[in-house]
Amino acid sequence: MKLPQISGIELIKKLKNFGFVIVRQRGSHIRLEKNILNGTIKITVPNHSNLKKGTLLHIIKDAGLTPEEVLS
């Protein structure tokens, strides 16, 4: 799957659909968390107009998701 160019805000909206919530923001970085059975998944998303493809892929994998799940 070819990764599209999306902004940090767009990615955050998509991650919210999977149960992530914004817990804080420091500068241009927004912290999201999701409680799961064996702990908490913590992700930091930069609030940039276009995320680099490597950054996007890394955030999606850290969230325990696949690009197809998030970007479809």
Residue 43: CB atoms within 10 A of its CB come to: 19
So what's the pLDDT on residue 71?
85
CATH (one of 3.30.920.30, 1.20.1630.10, 3.40.190.10, 3.90.1150.50) for 8-64: 3.30.920.30
Q: Is 57 helix (H, G, I), strand (E, B) or coil?
A: helix
Cα dihedral: 60, 42, 46, 16 (round 10): 70
Residue 1 has pLDDT above 80, yes or no: no
Residue 8 has pLDDT above 80, yes or no: yes
Quote the pTM value.
0.91
pLDDT tens digit string along 21-45? 999 999 999 999 999 999 999 999 9
Residue 3 has pLDDT above 90, yes or no: no
